[in-house]
Amino acid sequence: MASEQPPFYIGRYKVTGKLGSGGMGIVYLATDERLHRRVAIKRLVKNPSSNTAHLRIRQEALLLAQLSHSNIVQIYDVVEERDDVALVMEYVDGSSLTQWQRERTPNLRQKILLLRQICNGLARAHSIGIIHRDLKADNILVDDNNTAKITDFGIAKNWREDSDLTREQHVAGSWGAMSPEQALGKPLDNRCDLFALGVLAYKLFCDQSPFGDHDSPFIIVDRIVNSQHPPAEKLNPDLPPALCQLLDKLLAKNPDKRPVNATAVAAELNAILTELDDNSAQTISRTVTITAEGYHVKQRRRGKRLKMLAGATLAGGAALLVAAAAALLPETESETTGKYIAIVAPHENAFATRETNLLGNSVLSAIKQGLSSREGLLLVPFSESEQLRGQSLREQAQALNAQLLLHPSINCGVAHCDASLELIETANFSVVASRSATLELDENLESRARTLQQLNYLLPNNPPRDRESNPNISADDYQRYLELFERRDDDANLLKYLSELDELQERNPAFTPLYQLYGELVIDQRYNSRDPDGLKRLTRFLERAPKRLADHPDLISARLRLAIFQQDAEQGRELLDQLKLSLPDKANYHYMTAVYHQQLGNYPQALKAAERALALRTSFNYILQKAMALSALGDMDVAKPLLQQAMSLSDNNMDALSLLAANELDSGRPEETVRLLSSAGLDHLGAMDTYNLCLAYYIERLFDRAEQCFASVSELAPDDADALLYRAEIADAQQQPHKARQLAEQALAISADRDDWEGLLMQARAHAELGQAGRAVETLLRIRRTAPDDLYVNFARAQIYITTGDLLSAKAHIRKTLEQGVSPIWFDTARFAPMCRRADFADLRADYPALCAAGRKNAVIAQK
């Protein structure tokens, strides 16, 4: 069947013209001279990658030929000549769905009627086990009677069965209609067609693709797999709610959440048509203010497990600290050189089973190790990539300032998995190199070694400085390490996991990732329970490390983490000096310096270091760190746009949301704090976010809600005396002195054995609540040189002095707290009532007219 100019023959069919062409072949108009009818013939381009493709196409075409339905283009014949294939089909005198929509401007009812016809055709095909796999507007033909006919059934999938679904150069124009499971290479059923139907319907009703109009198919597929589509009502406010809900169900990422079949979709469309008839008199016209592409650029997805605000200072930063320290290269005094490379975090639930989860963690661990010490490359900490999980690759590259992305993917069968690594140049978003390997599900150590080997092939111009790939651990212990790593966010069992890591260290003291994970768990345990014993455990764990590992990056970073939390300024400085000599990426060094100063209360130095980091690389973590320093200095209004910028770069940046909520609280907008934290999902809030939510209720005098909230904090963090002390204040306000005393005694008992400044501050507050003024002041004096001079400490001091009756000292600390940015609304409580009626506070009230405003307002209301 050589290419010719019409007229010519394909079999017995006389070709008289060309109807169109595409990646699969050319469609001709022809005449069946035996039956005297016009037909359409698709001559398929031969697939060089498969010697049997034509046989499978022929078999499926013969099956489709048995279908007779008014909404499916009939296949009449298959012509084979010299291993080439042509399909002889019913000729439809009309236009594609895209042309029909553009040229005829149908109304909503006409569109729904047409979509129902497509459903009927799909239902018939699905009933005999045939799925389309390439349903799109160009494969829907509409004749002059407005009858829709589906064409090209089943051909696309068979024709591309050997193609690489992750390569842009293999895209043949159908990426935008592909279901997530098809893009991921998973088994398909009829529900993949329902997703494609949803894309088609969304375009029909909204005139836009649900996944935007980005010019990179790679980006579009990334959105299909990972990003939520914009609600249809935002693009077309005139759509009935039931129709919008149907579109949402069709476009569900999980096939189980889609309608069961096309017949069910047709039934819902019938109900919507009935509703339209009943409401035919209504006319609505609203203005559309967004586009699908704009929605994806600014989309906010926050489904990830939330971290606490206090953890954001280092727990969010500490994860970055460990990953950054893992990127150490040999000593250099030069400025940052090389390309930034980032690892694309697999989408959530990428690995369906426990075994695939462990294998995925093993591959990621190997990739991080393999990229951490390569000539000419600077590894962006994986903790940053994790916060961008689910965003498009272009958005990730922009947020991470990465010139290269390494995109790993794993597709698993029963006993083994196919792992692929793609190196993407972000300047033009092209795949510049790729490697793949088969990995066994039950051989994680071997999988780690194979992954490291593939990285060497992938990056021949960036050789590793350290060629040692042996993890120095037994297969069973490595398996357990992976399991513990996978469960590192399970706060309820942290103490158990720490004990298991202690046992692993005894058998594998040279396996350095243990020290990273142990430090991370200790910090999480420290912030969830306020238990200081975790730091003691970390000290013992590090002391047991072999001396030969003293200069290893994992050990340096763990020691730095410990020094920061122990307020050991001298040790922290020494460890930072070691990292300064080693880190090629000076931005990371400046960031860690900012974290160090932030924890020590040296906020101006923290601000300066964060700005130096940002001068070298824009990173949402660096922006967040700068916002933290500004917030601690009382510049909440300056920090706010920075936090909004950090959130725009990272859809999952819950640390930024937490700090923004805390700043709104400090600035006297508790209702905004409640709104922000509620928007994140109350069931997902960590202890510190919950604590701030409780404070917002307390400031608004919603005492019952505040008490209930603080009680939940006490459950989450049983060693947190702060929550108990606020519950005592609430009990006082509600005239429950006995309960208040009991809570204060509990708080004192919890903090009695602590000698750090925060524990001593809790003791002082408890003594004040119990009427033990001398003990309270005596305890306060013990932290005068160690506690940071920030608004949190000064507000606590004001609470203590006002409670003990030392009004002069209370006044001084109230003023200082106000100067540091706390809103006067924080002092509109029963505890600070003396400030509003005593003459010796008159000058303070004059300087801050908003003080006692709530009390004056309540008095006026009472008089009325």
| Feature table: binding site | 42
**For residue 7, cis peptide bond before it (omega within 30 degrees of 0):** yes
Q: Count other Cβ atoms within 10 Å, centred on residue 459.
A: 23
Write b or e for each residue in 626-651: b if 16 or more Cβ atoms lie within 10 A of its Cβ, otherwise e: bbbbbbbbbbbeebbebbebbbbbbb
Residue 168: count of CB within 10 angstroms of its CB: 17
- Asked if residue 437 lies in contact with residue 455, where contact means CB atoms within 8 angstroms, the answer is no
Residues placed in the known binding site for ATP:
42
How many residues does this entry show for the chain? 864
List residues bridging with 85 in a β-sheet: 80
Q: How far apart are CA 354 and CA 362, in angstroms?
A: 12
CA separation for the pair 43, 77 (Å, rounded): 12
CB 507 within 8 A of CB 477: yes
Q: Please calculate the CA angle 434-588-395 and round it to the nearest 5 degrees.
A: 50
- Tell me how far apart the alpha carbons of residues 679 and 309 are, in angstroms, rounded to a whole number: 16
Question: In sequence order, which ranges of 752-783 are alpha helices (DSSP H)?
Answer: 757-769, 773-781
Residue with tokens 């004056």: 856
Residue 823 exposed, middle or buried by CB count within 10 Å (0-12, 13-18, 19+): buried
For 851, the token pair is 């003080």
Q: Which helix (H) or strand (E) holds 859?
A: helix 853-863
Helix (H, G, I), strand (E, B) or coil at 18: strand
Query: Which residues in 200-214 are b (16+ Cβ under 10 Å) and which e?
Result: bbbbbbbebbbbbeb
Secondary structure in 3-state letters for 807-854: HHHHHHHHHHHHHCCCCHHHHCCHHHCHHHHCHHHHHHHHHCCCCCHH
Buried b (16+ CB within 10 A) or exposed e, 780-800: beebeeebbebbbbbbbbbbb
Partners of residue 406 on adjacent β-strands: 343, 423
